[in-house]
Amino acid sequence: MEEMDRVELIGDVRGLGLMIGVELVKNKKTKEYATKEIEQVLYESFKRGVA
């Protein structure tokens, strides 16, 4: 996916249609989870009404 190439935090995207999962990582090679960044994404999502 082109988003994976553009966005440094996206390590992997899985799913089909509206059922999608995005893995956020600090380093694409080591696949270390981006814990702080995940918290920020969740906070902003809830703040914008995504449940």
In our burial notation (b when 16+ CB lie closer than 10 A, e otherwise), range 9-46 reads: ebbeeeeeeeeeebbbbeeeeeeeebeeeeeeeeeeee
pLDDT score of 39 more than 80: yes
Helix (H, G, I), strand (E, B) or coil at 18: coil
Helix (H, G, I), strand (E, B) or coil at 6: helix
Tens digit of each residue's pLDDT (9 = 90 or more) over 11-35: 999 999 889 999 999 998 999 999 9
